[in-house]
Amino acid sequence: MTEKSRVLSTIAGSIVLAFLVLPIFAVVPASFNHASFIRIPPEAMSLRWYEVFLNDSEWWKALLASFRVGLLATTISVVLGTAAAIGLERVTPRIRAILLGVVLSPLIVPVIMTSIALYYIMRPLGLHGTIFGLAIGHSLLALPFVVVNVGISLRSIDPNCTRAAEGLGASPLRVFRTVTLPLILPGLAGGSAFAFITSFDEVVVSIFLAGVQAKTLPVKIWEAIRVEFTPVTAVASTVLLAITLLLFFGVKVAGRRLASESAPHGR
């Protein structure tokens, strides 16, 4: 590829990325509106609606619920996803392709269909409208990201490392704890970040599974928009966006640090 074509492809990619991403950030200036309705750009800048958000206990409860559901969903998906990724590496390629298709199916099946199915399963079990029920539903959507990230890390491990540990008499659990786990930490970090972000931003499944006592921030935003479309929803969206970006870049930096620390041991 010539230098000119590389520059043109970079410019084209940047334009497409800006077209997809920049509209999302429109909520940031909208959150500083002084008026009681959203106007972009604002005619007068104000922190009025940030004060409304911070002084409203319902918004705080929804934000706290999002964190609780996100952490629980991340824990569930990381445990199950890591076990699934390790199992997939130990089967034949044909069986692995079939099982991987099943694991990745939540990314292919429309979310509305998954939400309806989860609703009919959770309600008879008494999990509808609970933090745990929401976490289970979100972990189903987050599981593929953990399996993919951990699977990439597993395939980068030198098989001689685990064979050496097994040859020295280490049990499978000890091999995993002392050899495999340290080497797949970057994959675990990436999978955990994607799992939490998936749960924290999820709205369709949450609408079907949420209740009075378990209402996440995206569901609260949806309800507020339906009743009264004020800039406080833009404030909540800005908070959601800021937390997501901070988490993503924080884990990105941590993942690179873990990768650099574990690289010498993996060679």
Q: Write the DSSP assignment of 157-223 as a string of letters.
A: S-HHHHHHHHHTT--HHHHIIIIIHHHTHHHHHHHHHHHHHHHHH--HHHHHH--SS---HHHHHHH
As a whole number of angstroms, the distance between CA 17 and CA 24 comes to 12
pLDDT reported for residue 255: 65
Share of the chain above pLDDT 90, in %: 21
Q: What is the mean pLDDT of residues 157-165?
A: 76
CB-count burial class (<10 Å; 0-12, 13-18, 19+) for 227: exposed
How would residue 1 be classed by pLDDT, with cut points 50, 70 and 90? low
**For residue range 69-99, what is the model confidence (pLDDT) as tens digits?**
999 999 999 999 999 998 888 888 888 888 8
Q: Is the dihedral of CA 32, 36, 38, 39 positive or negative?
A: negative
Amino acid at 261: E
Poorest-pLDDT segment among 17-26, 123-132, 180-189, 241-250: 17-26
As a whole number of angstroms, the distance between CA 41 and CA 101 comes to 45
Q: What is the mean pLDDT of residues 140-168?
A: 83
**For residue range 23-65, what is the model confidence (pLDDT) as tens digits?**
777 788 888 887 777 777 777 788 888 888 888 888 899 999 9
**For residue range 93-144, what is the model confidence (pLDDT) as tens digits?**
888 888 888 888 888 888 899 899 999 999 898 888 899 999 999 999 999 9
Smallest CA-to-CA distance from 30 within 20, 44, 51 is with 44
Smallest CA-to-CA distance from 186 within 144, 155, 159, 217 is with 155
- Enumerate the domain spans of the chain: 58-266
Q: What is the pTM of this model?
A: 0.81
Where are the alpha helices (H) located in the chain, listed in sequence order? Answer: 3-21, 27-30, 48-55, 57-88, 93-108, 111-125, 131-155, 159-167, 172-175, 181-183, 185-201, 204-209, 217-227, 231-266
Are 9 and 17 within 8 A, CB to CB? no
pLDDT reported for residue 66: 92
pLDDT at 265 over 70: no
Share of the chain above pLDDT 70, in %: 94
pLDDT reported for residue 266: 43
How would residue 205 be classed by pLDDT, with cut points 50, 70 and 90? very high
Give the CATH architecture of domain 58-266: Orthogonal Bundle (1.10)
Q: What is the mean pLDDT of the chain?
A: 83
How would residue 22 be classed by pLDDT, with cut points 50, 70 and 90? confident
Smallest CA-to-CA distance from 175 within 154, 196, 194, 190 is with 154
3-class state of residue 37 by DSSP: coil
22, HSE (Cβ side, Cα atoms, 13 Å): 6
As a whole number of angstroms, the distance between CA 132 and CA 135 comes to 5
